[in-house]
Amino acid sequence: MSDISFYASPKELYDILEFVLTETDIEVYETYSGHERELKKFKNAADVLQWYSINITEERNCKGFRIAFYSPSVMKNRIITKINLKKETGHIYRYCIEGWALIIFSFEGIKDGRLCGSDFFLSNSEKRAKQWEDTYGDKFGPASDVNWDAFLELSKKLNKVIKKSSVAKTGSCYIMEDAMHFSKTKGRLATMYPIVPLRQVKEKTPEEIRKASPPRKDAICTCGNNTFHLRLNRLESVGLAACTKCHTQFYLLDSGDHWDEIVEEEGLPRQVKCTKVHNAFGIIFVYDYRDPIEGEVPDVESVGIVTICATCGYRKHQMTIEIDYSPTDTLVNQPLVLTKKINV
Ligand SMILES: [Zn+2]
Ligand SMILES: [Zn+2]
């Protein structure tokens, strides 16, 4: 869910590792050790680059690698497993790192002047870990021992670093500034998709920006009513609201993109009730924005869904929906999206 693919130059690779090793509590390891030796834990960014023989000014060829990020505040134990190798391999053993919640960073290198992509890949989601607990629980311990909120927070932090320094996208991959420069001056990017600038620069007045990025918005039905019955699946971050007066149904934000699939897999999300079992609510969308770029409307980073019980006034933060794409203006202009009629 929070994986991210991007193009980073070797220089940016260094910057990313420097950030990871100085601004977070992440420890960096090889994913697999070489034969007959311990798994290497890296001391700093320079150590990583040196180990994989990467020169930050490289223009033609450099090898890629895969390393693992482990955060003690996410997971108490990282597990270093010894793998005994078959005789035919001519080797005896090697080590690998394992655990429920690791972030794998892969850098694919430069091949004949073509800079290949990188990504951060989360080894598991909470949901997936719980599904595999029977199989791996003995080795990894209970999935509930992992601080999944901290894991998501950490991946968000890493993604932010990438997005903040990106100037364009190709397919779903972000292109960081120096990688873009590389593609214009030294080589090119290994991509089959067109390169699209991230933000068409169109200066907006502060008033326009303020209007286009409100901190919150109340849900109002097309009939003017503002109370709704609500169904939410918090784990999947989707919701459906039905007007208590005219019964028109709306998806919350981008819920419609995944609704059918989620209902098919997990059934209809549960109806929301307040502590006194009332079921009609006012809905407030609370927006959080990314760091603004001067003269532009900032992108939405997440939207909180807050309900106020229409009967007893009980107020509750129901869930927060993370947004990892751009542009995001429809989420603000039209937080309620008309459904094709679903009978619920
Ligand atoms: Zn209505
Ligand atoms: Zn109530």
| pLDDT for the residue numbered 200 | 53
Residue 201 has a pLDDT of 44
CA–CA distances in Å: residue 233 to residues 15, 268, 339: 38, 9, 17
State the CB neighbour count (10 A cutoff) for residue 325: 11
Instruction: Give 237-283 pLDDT, tens digit per residue.
Output: 999 999 999 999 999 999 998 899 999 999 999 999 999 999 999 99
| Residue 205 confidence (pLDDT) | 81
Contact yes or no for 102/123 (Cβ under 8 A): yes
* Separation CA 260–CA 268 (nearest Å): 9
Can you tell me the distance from the alpha carbon of 44 to that of 59, in angstroms, rounded to the nearest whole number? Answer: 23
Query: Which ligand has the nearest atom to the CA of 221?
Result: 1
Span from the CA of 228 to the centroid of ligand 2 (angstroms): 13
**Nearest ligand, measured from the Cα of 278:** 2
Could you tell me the distance, in angstroms and rounded to a whole number, from the CA of residue 278 to the centre of ligand 1?
Answer: 19
State in Å: Cα 269 to ligand 1 middle: 21
Q: How remote is the CA of residue 315 from the centroid of ligand 1, in Å? A: 21
Nearest to 174 by CA among 197, 200, 150: 197
The backbone torsions φ and ψ at residue 15, rounded to the nearest 5 degrees and listed phi first, read -60, -40
How many Å lie between the centroid of ligand 1 and the Cα of residue 145?
Answer: 44
From the CA of 311, which ligand is nearest? 2
Q: What is the SS3 assignment for 210-230?
A: HHHCCCEEECCCCCCCCCEEE
How many angstroms is it from 250 CA to the middle of ligand 1? 10
Distance 310 CA to ligand 2 centre (A): 7
* Burial class (CB within 10 angstroms; exposed 0-12, middle 13-18, buried 19+) of 117: buried
pLDDT tens for each residue of the chain, 344 residues long? 468 999 999 999 999 999 999 999 999 999 999 999 999 999 999 999 999 999 888 888 999 999 999 999 999 888 999 999 998 989 999 999 999 999 999 999 999 999 999 999 998 888 889 889 898 888 899 999 999 999 999 998 999 899 889 999 888 899 999 999 998 888 889 988 888 888 654 567 888 888 889 999 999 999 999 999 999 999 999 999 999 999 999 999 999 988 999 999 999 999 999 999 999 999 999 999 987 766 778 889 999 999 999 999 999 999 999 888 878 889 999 999 999 766 55
Distance 269 CA to ligand 2 centre (A): 20
Distance of CA 217 to the CA centre of its chain: 24
